[in-house]
Chains A and B, each alone.
Chain A
Amino acid sequence: MGIKTSSLGLKHRIKKNLSDSFMRASIANAQDRINRKRADCYAELGHFEKWRDLAMDIRSHVLDYLDYYLEQFTDSAQKAGAAVHFAKDDREAVELAKTIFLQKKAKKAVKTKSMVTEEIGLNEALEEIGIEILETDLGEYLLQLDGKDKPSHIVIPALHKDRRRIREVLAQKAGYKGDVTPEAMTRFVRGILRDAFLSADVAVSGCNFAVAETGTIALMTNEGNGRFITGIPKTLITFMGMERVVPTFEELDILFSMLARSSVGVRTSVYMSLITGPRGKADLDGPEELHIIIIDNGRSNVLAGSFKDVLRCIRCGTCMLECPAYRHVGGHGYGVLYPGPLGAALVTELAGYEEHKDVTEICSLCGACNDVCPVKIPLVESILEHRRIIAEDKRLAGWMKDAVYSQYGRVIGNSAYYASASRLARLANHAPRIGPLKEWTKARELPKIPAERFRDWFAGRKRKEAGS
């Protein structure tokens, strides 16, 4: 799929998603419910700020010594019997995967949820060479079944669908005849997935964290599909973004605990699969062959630049759940794979300003995300800095904006210009409702501009005092 998920322009995308009242109701409902749960389970844990500092320190430390930890991870994983591959970009990652599939003469694959595989467009590439790849995370499965619908949240991909929509999809595309309860629908899907797990040649997984000391891949799921994926098929290919590493199990414990709480507001995920190499002689299950593909795809550049902090992200999606803009336009409003504040801070770094500069505009700079990010990424500051680079360094804001803001800067830079301009602004009550005034009045009235400014009142009072 790649980073870009929509060909619509910014305003159209926003309008289209704002008009989807079902989606908006689903997202608002999910935000309210999960945010409450998150607050509760962090309150129970206590010392939220200290936990955030600790998690931030762990992630920052790993990023500072990423070359060291990646090497350690690679050594440990190889010692445990895994094949470790490095891919510098999406194309290389996909080619590596294809080669493994061709070697294994594999036709069918099952897959856990993984944002990095979406980022590199894995499914499409494999389908092109005739491989049938089935998503087994319930949300991702529903999106795939719905004819290539796209994830609107990085942890809860079908967040934009409510249960009625889900039933429609299941009925139309998979012949579901049951009721609209989550239990019945999940049971139905489970039947389909069980067969797929048993018949797949290759399994594909993502990676929440990779433990450097032991070469272990840690995978969290809530539905148990991770267990099947890592337990049954003979070959497992794990994709990981190169920044997913933690030093030891001690740090894994802390980050895992934060990830579960921040992503869906629970103390722990239902399942955690820890894969250290392929199956050993004494093991009853597990893959016979394990490939780990470590993906750069722009991350090295981010690491070397001024937005390094953004790489601390543990992909919990809590910034999206807290974001008031995301609430109304959903993940699809952003038109990119990583939506919300994280997307606005990260996407231009991974995929360039030229194509993605408008993502940075879907933000009112309210700062709610900063307050909940478990690894304290300065999201708002990053978004503002992107805007500055777009306007000043890259000069991509457009001549019209440049001209308007230049003029504005000149006026407010000079006391005399400002004083006359502000007197002129008294006429705004009669100005035609065009341009910004038209935009403002779409949803609200304009304030009435009073005849007397504060400065006039103050000067008048002073004159009176002097006179009396």
Chain B
Amino acid sequence: MKVSFFITCLADNVLPNVGIKSVQLLEKLGCSVFFNPKQTCCGQPLVNSGYLEKAKKSMCTLMDALLEDDCEYIVAPSGSCVLQVKEFPRFFQGDAVWESRAKLLADKTCEITDFVVNILKVTDVGAVLNGRGAYHPSCHMSRMLGVKEPPYQLLKNVKGLKLVSFKGQDKCCGFGGTFSVNMADLSGAMVKEKVRNIAAAGVDYLIGADGACLMNIQGRIRRENLNIRVLHVVEALMAG
């Protein structure tokens, strides 16, 4: 299956290993992965700050890049960025050129765990990771995109991994995009509580499916010098 990989700007720049493991996972499961280097950013930081019009050029650039290789699916390791792409048809409603392209892109785009479980129909990828792990369900991915179960379905089959729940598991980690710097004190209070709850669960790994939330949580874990490894779900799935 031909898959165009949408790396997302954050993973491209800050968490390249998430991209590398995603590509390796997709290839391991028999996909041929295309990466179009013309892709940039989905424009979410702009849209969430109110600058929808200023974001549109980047959306068009992204649409061109991701549709260029004419793959069956476009897969990204971030529920939040996928959610944003799914909103493109609304943003370009009534636009003669872009509305149909936005719809095409939205239809083809899939979050990676959702893709593996529901399109490739695989729940055991043969990973081994020894220890206790907690999964943080990111808000955009679980609530708004509606991808709730696939990460659990995949992580349950990771050998050696004991998944545990923790208090306030489904609560926001406080990232919220530009919220994390605009409202730094409040965002900080939120991530402190999140990490306090994770630490109380006594885990070796904190696993998530959205790089931005993981960057936020990891930043706090490092600040507190806690011995908890933060992993993107694809990193856990490619372990062992």
A272 part of interface (Cβ distance < 8 Å):
no
Complex interface: chain B residues within 8 A of A329 (CB): 186
A368 part of interface (Cβ distance < 8 Å):
yes
Tell me which residues from 380 to 415 in chain A have a Cβ below 8 Å from any Cβ of chain B: 380, 384, 387-392, 397, 401, 405-406, 408-415
The answer for the CA separation of A414 and B181 in the assembled complex, in Å, is 25
A15 part of interface (Cβ distance < 8 Å):
yes
The answer for the CA separation of A132 and B2 in the assembled complex, in Å, is 76
Tell me which residues from 435 to 459 in chain A have a Cβ below 8 Å from any Cβ of chain B: 436, 439-440, 442-447, 449-450, 452-459
Contact of A365 among B16, B41, B43, B179 (CB under 8 A): B179
**Whole-angstrom distance between the Cβ of A442 and the nearest chain B Cβ:** 5
Complex interface: chain B residues within 8 A of A384 (CB): 47-48, 50
Binds B, one of A104-112, A215-223, A356-364: A356-364
For A462, the closest partner residue in chain B by CB is: B35
**Whole-angstrom distance between the Cβ of A417 and the nearest chain B Cβ:** 8
B133 part of interface (Cβ distance < 8 Å):
no
The answer for the CA separation of A333 and B189 in the assembled complex, in Å, is 13
B112 part of interface (Cβ distance < 8 Å):
no
**Whole-angstrom distance between the Cβ of B112 and the nearest chain A Cβ:** 14
The answer for the CA separation of A457 and B5 in the assembled complex, in Å, is 14
| Chain B 6-23 interface 0/1 with A at a Cβ cutoff of 8 Å (1 = within) | 010101111110111001
The answer for the CA separation of A329 and B174 in the assembled complex, in Å, is 13
Complex interface: chain A residues within 8 A of B14 (CB): 447, 449-450
Binds B, one of A140-148, A174-182, A418-426: A418-426
The answer for the CA separation of A62 and B191 in the assembled complex, in Å, is 41
For A24, the closest partner residue in chain B by CB is: B189
A300 part of interface (Cβ distance < 8 Å):
no
Would you call A18 and B186 a contact (CB within 8 A)?
A: yes
Would you call B183 and A361 a contact (CB within 8 A)?
A: yes
Complex interface: chain B residues within 8 A of A415 (CB): 37-40, 61, 65
Would you call A368 and B49 a contact (CB within 8 A)?
A: no
Would you call B191 and A444 a contact (CB within 8 A)?
A: yes
Contact of A11 among B16, B49, B185, B215 (CB under 8 A): B185
The answer for the CA separation of A367 and B137 in the assembled complex, in Å, is 13
Tell me which residues from 143 to 193 in chain B have a Cβ below 8 Å from any Cβ of chain A: 143-144, 171-172, 174-177, 179-193
Tell me which residues from 182 to 207 in chain B have a Cβ below 8 Å from any Cβ of chain A: 182-193
Complex interface: chain A residues within 8 A of B48 (CB): 365, 384, 387
The answer for the CA separation of A391 and B11 in the assembled complex, in Å, is 28
A312 part of interface (Cβ distance < 8 Å):
no
Would you call A408 and B186 a contact (CB within 8 A)?
A: no
Would you call B40 and A14 a contact (CB within 8 A)?
A: no
The answer for the CA separation of A14 and B141 in the assembled complex, in Å, is 28
Binds A, one of B95-103, B118-126, B219-227: B219-227
Would you call B139 and A14 a contact (CB within 8 A)?
A: no
Complex interface: chain B residues within 8 A of A284 (CB): none
Tell me which residues from 53 to 108 in chain B have a Cβ below 8 Å from any Cβ of chain A: 53-55, 57-58, 60-61, 65
Would you call A392 and B53 a contact (CB within 8 A)?
A: yes
Would you call B16 and A442 a contact (CB within 8 A)?
A: no
Would you call B61 and A413 a contact (CB within 8 A)?
A: yes
**Whole-angstrom distance between the Cβ of B195 and the nearest chain A Cβ:** 9
State whether A328 and B40 are in contact (beta carbons under 8 Å apart), knowing that A371-B143, A444-B216 are contacts in the complex.
no
Would you call B12 and A455 a contact (CB within 8 A)?
A: yes
**Whole-angstrom distance between the Cβ of A155 and the nearest chain B Cβ:** 21
Would you call A324 and B223 a contact (CB within 8 A)?
A: no
The answer for the CA separation of A389 and B50 in the assembled complex, in Å, is 7
B232 part of interface (Cβ distance < 8 Å):
no
Complex interface: chain B residues within 8 A of A418 (CB): 9, 40-41
Complex interface: chain A residues within 8 A of B220 (CB): 443-445
Complex interface: chain A residues within 8 A of B16 (CB): 450, 452-454, 456-457
- 12 further A-B contacts with Cβ under 8 Å, apart from A384-B50, A392-B51, are A325-B186, A327-B193, A384-B48, A387-B49, A388-B52, A397-B50, A401-B49, A405-B49, A440-B219, A442-B188, A454-B11, A457-B20
User: Could you write out 30 A-B pairs with CB less than 8 Å apart?
Assistant: A328-B186, A328-B190, A362-B183, A363-B176, A364-B139, A365-B48, A366-B139, A390-B50, A397-B49, A397-B50, A409-B55, A412-B41, A412-B58, A413-B58, A415-B38, A415-B61, A439-B180, A439-B182, A442-B185, A444-B216, A444-B220, A444-B222, A446-B219, A447-B218, A449-B14, A454-B12, A454-B16, A454-B20, A455-B7, A458-B35
B residues lining the A interface (CB < 8 Å)? 7, 9, 11-16, 18-20, 23, 35, 37-41, 43, 45-55, 57-58, 60-61, 65, 139-140, 143-144, 171-172, 174-177, 179-193, 215-216, 218-220, 222-223
Closest 4 A/B residue pairs (Cβ): A443-B188, A364-B176, A444-B219, A413-B57
